[in-house]
């Protein structure tokens, strides 16, 4: 009986040891998976791509991702600025691409960096775009009879038709990329140096009407920008704003409430209400009861030293830079993943019968669709991205499928 109890205890101890070992292995396995990244087709477990160190070319330009399947060549700025660009692009693998592209746009605007591969695309396809636009205008029966406003309306569809005619169409706003490219990339340098990129960009996005009074509550996400503009002399606040502009922001209902204690006929027209309120000697005190002056802001004109700057051209150039930044980030990320996938999938060649290019569906450009329709032999691994900004990937067809 004692021997039987001994066997039971030994068996229970053995089960406990096995259970603990299995639990530890599961935990270790789970912890290990946290540090790595799954491949797009979920068949391979992968680490963050290695795009390589900067590579200096004979002409002084720098390749920022020499190991990528789509190397990007940067020129026009100092090596330190190119290093900063690469650091931002590396963060795009683990951070929000939107946040990263905003930082890239600021860096490009400050340093005037250029990308050869994006410039090459524009150089090739921008003339084709404009040629198609001119063809559509000439073929249009109504174009010559339209007013400028109606021409702008018709150009919307013409632009889309011109874009659709291109064989290679990166996923960006091609209107901005082709039409908003600045003639002088230093056009905004003085403004950025004085006010900073983020603040002057915010200013220009709201400066179309300098007489407009903005009501910005304390908890509004844009409040800090308006307060910074006041500090920099780009805006005025509260009682510094002309009273007539403040009164013009009121609704008819608010005007009637302000003079509710007076024995007058209620206003039914805003102009009459504004005229009456501005004639009141105590208008400021009456406004205080209805308006939080700290919430009111009005933009000012730029100092006279900037009067010759073409602000519209600067705003357009920043739209162009935003598209360039997105193309840079997309190509850098996808080229890194493609290189990583190529290296790792070579270990599984025994399972592969052929390769195929996967597009993004109907949004894919004709060039991508054409290459995706082809078959690629086991030893002919297709190289993606196929063009700047391309989002195509490579998958395999297993033996026996």
Q: What is the pLDDT of residues 163-208, one digit of tens each?
A: 999 999 999 999 999 999 999 999 999 999 999 999 999 999 999 8
What average pLDDT does range 214-229 have in this prediction?
Answer: 96
Q: Is the pLDDT of residue 105 over 50?
A: yes
- Look-up of token digits 């190119």: 82
Query: What whole-number distance in Å separates Cα of residue 64 and Cα of residue 75?
Result: 10
Give the chain's mean pLDDT.
Answer: 88
Kindly list the distances between the CA atom of residue 29 and the CA atoms of 20, 23, 36, 64, in Å, as whole numbers in the listed order: 14, 10, 11, 35
Name residue 212's beta-bridge partners.
Answer: none
CA-to-CA dists, residue 387 to 65, 289, 327, 328, 367, angstroms: 15, 61, 10, 12, 9
Give the pLDDT of residue 36.
Answer: 27
Residue 348 has what pLDDT?
83
Q: Whole-angstrom distance between the N-terminal and C-terminal Cα of the chain?
A: 61
Contacts of residue 110, Cβ cutoff 8 Å, sequence gap at least 6 = 192, 197
pLDDT in the model for residue 350: 85
């Amino acid at each position: 009986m004692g021997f039987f109890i001994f066997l039971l205890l030994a068996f229970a101890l053995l089960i406990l040891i096995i259970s603990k070992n299995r639990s530890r292995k599961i935990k270790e396995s789970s912890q290990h998976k946290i540090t790595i990244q799954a491949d797009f087709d979920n068949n391979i477990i992968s680490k963050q791509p290695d795009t390589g160190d900067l590579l200096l070319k004979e002409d002084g330009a720098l390749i920022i991702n020499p190991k990528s399947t789509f190397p990007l060549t940067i020129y026009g700025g100092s090596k330190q600025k190119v290093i900063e660009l690469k650091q931002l692009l590396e963060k795009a693998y683990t951070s929000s691409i939107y946040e990263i592209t905003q930082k890239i746009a600021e860096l490009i605007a400050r340093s005037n960096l250029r990308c050869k591969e994006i410039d090459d695309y524009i150089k090739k396809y921008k003339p084709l775009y404009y040629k198609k636009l001119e063809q559509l205008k000439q073929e249009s029966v109504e174009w010559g009879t339209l007013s400028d406003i109606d021409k702008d309306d018709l150009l919307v569809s013409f632009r889309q038709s011109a874009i659709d005619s291109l064989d290679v169409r990166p996923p960006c706003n091609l209107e901005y990329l082709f039409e908003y490219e600045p003639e002088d990339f230093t056009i905004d340098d003085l403004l950025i140096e004085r006010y900073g990129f983020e603040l002057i960009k915010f200013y220009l996005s709201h400066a179309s009407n300098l007489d407009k009074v903005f009501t910005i509550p304390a908890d509004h996400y844009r409040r800090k920008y308006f307060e910074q503009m006041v500090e920099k002399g780009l805006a005025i606040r509260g009682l510094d704003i002309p009273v007539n502009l403040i009164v013009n922001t009121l609704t008819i209902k608010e005007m009637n409430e302000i003079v509710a204690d007076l024995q007058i006929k209620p206003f039914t027209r805003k102009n009459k209400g504004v005229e009456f309120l501005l004639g009141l000697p105590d208008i400021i005190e009456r406004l205080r009861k209805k308006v939080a002056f700290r919430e009111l802001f009005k933009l000012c004109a730029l100092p006279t030293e900037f009067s010759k700057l073409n602000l519209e051209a600067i705003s357009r150039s920043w739209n162009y830079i935003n598209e360039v930044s997105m193309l840079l980030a997309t190509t850098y990320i996808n080229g890194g993943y493609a290189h990583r996938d190529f290296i790792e999938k070579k270990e599984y060649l025994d399972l592969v019968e052929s390769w195929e290019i996967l597009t993004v569906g109907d949004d894919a450009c004709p060039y991508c669709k054409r290459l995706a329709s082809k078959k690629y032999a086991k030893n002919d691994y297709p190289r993606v991205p196929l063009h700047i900004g391309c989002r195509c990937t490579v998958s395999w067809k297993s033996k026996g499928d």
